[in-house]
Structure 1
Amino acid sequence: MARRESRAPYTDPKDVIAGLLAAYFTAGDDAPERLHAELSRPGLSSIGRVEGAALFPLPDGVDPAPERLRRAGMWLVRNGTDRRAVLVGLLLLEATARRADIPVLRMMGLLPDFTESVVRTIAGITGTTADLVWLAERAGAERRGYVIRALVDRADPMARRWLLRNALSDFGPGGNEFALRIAEVTRLADALVAVDRDDRLRDQAIGLMLRMTRHDDYGTVIDRYRDARRVFALIAAETTWMAPTSERCAELAAVVEELRTGASACLDWARGEREEILERLLVVLRSPAWTRTLDEAERDAGSETSYSGWRARWARAVLAIGHDGTMAGAIGNPLRRFEIRITLPIPPRSGVFGGVETRVLIDGRPIIADLFHQGAAEPPEKLLLRGELRATEEPRRVRLAEAWCTEGCCGGLYVTIVREGDEVVWRDWERQSGAGLAEEFRFAAPEYDREIARAEADHGWEWPARTLARLVNAAVLEDPTILGRWNCSVDWIGAVLGEYDVARIWLLDDSGEYSDQFGYGLHAEVEDLEGQARSVIEAFRVAHPRKMLEYQRSRLE
Structure 2
Amino acid sequence: MSAPHERPTLAPSLYAYAKGLCDSDPDGPPPLGAHPLPGTARPRVRRRPHLRHREALAAVTGILLPFLDLPDPARAAVEAERALAATGVVREQAVFAAAAAVEPPDEPAARALVRSFARHLVRTGTTALGVSAGLGLLSRLAEPEDVPYLRLLGMLDGLVHPVDAALAPLDRPAAALVWLIHRTRSEELRGLVDALATGDRAAVPTLLLGLPTEARGMGPELARRVTEAADLASLLRAEPDRPELLGRAVHLLARMTSSRDYQAEILRYGEAVDLYETVAAHAHRLPRDVDHRARLLTLALDLHSGASHLLPWPPGRREAIHRTLLDTAAWHGEAPADPDGRRRADWIRRTARRLRAAPSEVPRFRIDVAVADPGDPDVVETRFLIDGRPLVPEAFGTGAGESPERLLDSGALRAAPEPSEVRLAEAYCTEGCCGALYVTVRREGGHVVWSDWRRPGGPAGLPDLPAYRFDAAAYDAEIARAENDHGWTWPARRTARLIAAGLRDRPESLTRWGLRQGWISTEFDAPDTTLVTFTGPGEEGERRQFLWRIPDDGTPPEEQAAAALRRLAEGDPRGYPELRG
- TM-score class, shorter-chain normalisation, is 0.5 to 0.7
Determine whether 1:491 maps to 2:528. Answer: no
* CA root-mean-square deviation: 2.9
Aligned to 1:317: 353
Q: TM-score, normalised by structure 2?
A: 0.63
Q: How does 1:36-75 map to 2 (within 5 A)?
A: none
Is residue 374–residue 403 contact of structure 1 (8 Å, CA) maintained in 2?
A: yes
User: Match for 1:312: what amino acid?
Assistant: I
Partner of 2:479: 452
State the alpha-carbon separation in 2 of the partners of residues 541 and 278 from structure 1: 48
Tell me which amino acid in the other structure corresponds to 2:273: R
Matched, 1:336 2:363: yes
Alignment CA distance shift 1:375-1:174 (3 Å): farther
CA contact (8 A) 1:152 1:181 kept: no
Taking the aligned partners of 2:518 and 2:324, their CA distance within structure 1 comes to: 44
State whether structure 2 residue 308 is matched by structure 1 residue 264: yes
Amino acid at match of 1:549: P
CA distance in 2, matches of 1:240, 1:306: 22
Q: In the superposition, relative to structure 1, how do residues 312 and 281 fare at CA in structure 2: closer, same or farther (>3 Å)?
A: closer
CA distance in 2, matches of 1:496, 1:475: 20
Residue in structure 1 matching 2:193, options 153, 172, 182: 153
8 Å contact kept, 1:394–1:418:
yes
What corresponds to 1:180 in structure 2?
224
- Cα gap change, 1:263/1:162 in structure 2, threshold over 3 Å: closer, same or farther? same
Find the aligned partners of 1:201 and 1:243 in 2 and give their Cα distance.
12
Q: How many residues align?
A: 392
Q: Secondary structure at the match of 1:239?
A: helix
Deviation track 1:180-210 (CA, whole Å, cap 9, x = no partner) reads: 1110121110011111322211111111111
Q: How does 1:405-420 map to 2 (within 5 A)?
A: 405-420=429-444
Q: How many Å separate the matches in 1 of 2:386 and 2:307?
A: 14
Per the alignment, in what secondary structure is the counterpart of residue 487 of structure 2? coil
Give TM-score scaled by structure 1 length: 0.65
Q: Which amino acid aligns with 2:563?
A: S
Answer yes or no: is the 8 Å Cα contact 2:367–2:482 preserved in 1.
Answer: yes
Helix, strand or coil at the partner of 1:222: helix
Larger mean CA deviation between 163-172 and 495-504 belongs to: 163-172
Q: Secondary structure in 1 aligned to 2:263?
A: coil
Distance 1:258 1:489 in 2: 36
Could you tell me how far 1:510 is from its partner in structure 2? Answer: 5.0
Cα–Cα, structure 1 residues 245 and 315, in superposed 2: closer, same or farther, change >3 Å? Answer: farther
Aligned equivalent of 2:333, options 286, 292, 296: 296
Q: CA deviation at 1:240?
A: 3.6
Label 1:171 to 1:536 Cα distance change in 2 as closer, same or farther (>3 A).
closer
Check if 1:233 corresponds to 2:233: no
| 2:493 match | 466
Query: For the Cα contact (< 8 Å) 2:398–2:434, is it kept in 1?
Result: yes
Contact 2:192 2:208 in 1 (8 A): no
Taking a change above 3 Å as real, the CA distance of residues 460 and 370 of structure 1, as seen in their structure-2 partners, is: same
Match for 1:516 among 538, 544, 547? Answer: 544
2:369–2:380: 8 Å Cα contact kept in structure 1?
Answer: yes
Partner residue of 1:439?
Answer: 466
Aligned-partner residue type, residue 210 of structure 1: A
Deviations 1:155-193 (A, max 9, x none): 243652223323242353871111111101211100111
Shift of 1:520: 2.9
- Shift, 1:340, TM fit: 0.6
Deviation at 1:304, TM superposition (A): 12
Q: What is the distance in 2 between the residues matched to 1:171 and 1:307?
A: 17
Contact 2:240 2:246 in 1 (8 A): no
The separation in 1 between residues aligned to 2:480 and 2:338, in whole angstroms, is 32
Asked if residue 482 in structure 1 is aligned to residue 509 in structure 2, the reply is yes
Q: Is the 8 A contact 1:301 1:309 kept in 2?
A: no
Structure 2 residue 558 is the aligned partner of structure 1 residue 530? yes
1:320 CA displacement: 1.8
The 5 Å alignment of 1:5-404 reads 146-154=186-194, 155=196, 156-157=200-201, 159-170=203-214, 172=216, 175-282=219-326, 284-285=327-328, 291=330, 294-298=331-335, 306-321=342-357, 325-326=358-359, 334-346=361-373, 351-404=375-428
Q: For residues 479 and 267 of structure 1, what CA distance do their matches in structure 2 show?
A: 47
Change (3 A) 1:534 1:384: same
Contact in 2 for aligned 1:314/1:461 (Cα 8 Å)? yes
For each residue in 1:392-426, what CA deviation from the matched residue of structure 2 results, as whole angstroms up to 9, or x when unmatched? 11111000110111101111001111111111111
Secondary structure, counterpart of 1:340 in structure 2: strand
Q: Do the aligned residues in 1 keep the contact of 2:213 with 2:251 (CA within 8 Å)?
A: no
CA distance in 2, matches of 1:446, 1:413: 25
Contact 1:263/1:370 (CA < 8 Å) preserved in 2? yes
Instruction: Select the residue among 555, 565, 568 that pairs with 1:540.
Output: 568
- Counterparts of 2:281 and 2:570 in 1: how far apart (Å)? 60
Q: For residues 494 and 425 of structure 1, do their structure 2 counterparts lie closer, same or farther at Cα, with a shift above 3 Å needed?
A: same
Q: Secondary structure at the match of 1:527?
A: coil
For 2:141, the equivalent position in structure 1 comes to none
Q: Residues 166 and 204 of structure 1 are in contact (CA less than 8 Å); yes or no, is this contact kept in structure 2?
A: no
The offset of 1:53, in angstroms, is 12
